[in-house]
Chain A
Amino acid sequence: MTLSDLANPTRFLSLTARLLPWLVAATAIVLAIGLYQSAVAPDDYQQGATVKIMFIHVPNAWLSMLVWSVMSVAALGTLVWRHPLADVAAKAAAPLGAAFTFLALVTGSLWGRPMWGTYWEWDARLTSVLILFLMYLGLIALWRAVEDPSRAARAAAILTLVGAINLPIIKFSVDWWNTLHQGASVMRLGGPTLDRAFLIPLLVMALGFTLLFLTLHLAAMRNEILRRRVRSLQMLQADRRSA
């Protein structure tokens, strides 16, 4: 199956119907393993048991950026290739990205209070992630405000690509500025600095949350395709009534 085959929404829905049960099962299994490993992971010598917040904070933080990256590729699909499902993919991903970013901010705040002594600090990492959250909300509002889906798609795609500038700022904010937030400890040149006792549960939870995103995204795309079918049938109904 090629990307052009998936341009047909009916084929895409058929594929989604077959994939979703497997994805749901895989997500549940991987998250259950990750949660067990997180529960039995040892305390950190400095942070104590609060290190357990890392196992949910970091996957949500990674997903907050991954989802915007997916939306940026979809934005290119809308503007350059005019792929029929590109805008569907971007629109379905935005609320999920907003939820993951919200969770990254709040779990980070709950981790920061005992470790830094404050829930919030206007430093580069925290502020740039807050801006990402606000951009998600702005995009969702834009899709809701413009009634014509094709006009909304183009405007949202441009805004998404402009917003992608924030991704390297978030990633490198801890290197470019002096921040309260710690530097990269997993995705860095020279390899992870985390001990295996923390790294393995973290990677399993990251895989579980990524599968969760994939599952929810496919389900939300299916809903968006059905919503567009409802809209086109309603327009057809209105045309018949006025004829």
Chain B
Amino acid sequence: MSLGPYASFIVTAYLLVAAVVLLLIIWIALDYRRQQARLRELEASGVVRRSGRSAADIA
């Protein structure tokens, strides 16, 4: 596959999209782990929801 004289523009565009999508995935995954950890900390300190169910339980 030859990308011709403008290969650098094409490769940069694809790499940039891949990088931004990867950043979004990492950010969302880390945010999920952070919220779960904060909920577990709060529950460990004795703060529970009115329903009595675990706030970190999502299944």
Contacts and interface: CB of A to CB of B under 8 A. Distances in A.
A39 B2 CA distance: 10
Contact of B20 (A40, A99, A230): A99
B13 A216 contact: no
Interface in A187-243: 212, 216, 219-220, 222-223, 226-227, 229-230, 232-234, 236-237, 240
Contacts of A240: 47
A79 interface: no
Interface of B: 1-7, 9-10, 12-14, 16-17, 20-21, 24-25, 28-29, 31-32, 35-36, 38-39, 42-43, 45, 47-49, 53, 55-56, 58-59
Contacts of B9: 50, 53, 110-111, 113-114
Nearest to A50: B6
Interface stretch (A8-16, A69-77, A143-151): A8-16
A49 B55 contact: no
Nearest to A112: B9
Given A110-B10, A229-B35, A240-B47, 16 more contacts: A16-B58, A48-B4, A48-B5, A52-B3, A53-B10, A99-B24, A110-B16, A114-B5, A219-B28, A226-B55, A230-B35, A230-B38, A230-B39, A230-B55, A232-B49, A233-B48
B58 A222 contact: yes
Given A103-B20, A233-B47, A240-B47, A223 B13 contact: no
B12 A110 contact: yes
A18 B55 CA distance: 18
- Residue of B5, B12, B14 most packed against chain A (CB within 10 A): B14
Given A13-B58, A229-B55, A237 B45 contact: yes
Contacts of B32: 219, 222-223, 226
7 contacts: A17-B58, A53-B13, A103-B16, A219-B28, A233-B43, A237-B47, A240-B47
Contact of A60 (B17, B29, B53): B17
B17 to A, nearest CB: 5
Q: Which 6 A-B pairs have the closest CB atoms?
A: A226-B35, A13-B58, A114-B6, A229-B55, A49-B4, A233-B42
A121 interface: no
A16 B42 CA distance: 23
Contacts of B13: 53, 56-57, 106-107, 110-111
